[in-house]
């Protein structure tokens, strides 16, 4: 019986876009959530300081998303292309938007600026649809 149900469930999952959600309960509405994961470790040692990160937010992120965003302090683990594994302080930038297509080039520019300014190999990026409200 278990295998008889597995195929229809699998087919339904494959037919539906990942994370697609159109119905939200109550006053919640579908929003696109974009997360950027910034490692603070610098090549050769040291870290991006709080002041440097704040300046990055004020000069690069806020002008592109003046409606608002959130920043979460975190610890990240990352495997460099060289194979070295690092655990380092990190920041997660969270942007909720109703217009992901318009946000995409802004996000690309934020990534480009951070990687160049702080000599980063990469910045993590995740995106999905979730229900949210600003009541």
Looking at residue 20, what is its pLDDT? 53
- Provide the domain limits for residue 58: 21-132
Do the domain assignments include residue 74?
yes
Q: What is the mean pLDDT of the chain?
A: 88
pLDDT, tens only, 52-90: 999 999 999 999 999 999 999 999 998 988 898 989 999
Do the domain assignments include residue 6?
no
pTM for the whole structure: 0.81
The backbone torsions φ and ψ at residue 108, rounded to the nearest 5 degrees and listed phi first, read: -60, -40
Do the domain assignments include residue 97?
yes
Give the CATH number for residue 74: 3.30.70.120
Do the domain assignments include residue 1?
no
Assign residue 109 a region: left if phi > 0, alpha if psi is -120 to 50, beta otherwise? alpha
Looking at residue 52, what is its pLDDT? 98
Least confident of 10-14, 47-51, 87-91, 110-114: 10-14
Opening angle at CA 111, ends 120 and 51, nearest 5: 70
Looking at residue 25, what is its pLDDT? 95
């Amino acid at each position: 019986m278990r295998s008889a149900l597995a195929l229809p469930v699998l087919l339904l999952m494959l037919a539906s876009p990942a994370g697609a959600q159109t119905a939200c309960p109550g006053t919640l509405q579908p929003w696109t959530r974009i997360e950027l994961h910034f490692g603070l470790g610098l090549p050769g040692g040291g870290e991006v300081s709080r002041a440097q990160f704040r300046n990055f937010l004020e000069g690069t992120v806020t002008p592109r998303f003046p409606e608002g965003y959130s920043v979460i302090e975190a610890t990240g683990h990352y495997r460099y292309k060289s194979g070295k594994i690092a655990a380092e302080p990190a920041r997660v930038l969270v942007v909720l938007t109703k217009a992901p297509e318009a946000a995409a080039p802004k996000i690309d520019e934020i990534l480009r600026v951070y990687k160049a300014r702080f000599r980063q190999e990469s910045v993590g990026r995740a995106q999905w649809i979730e229900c949210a409200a600003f009541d």
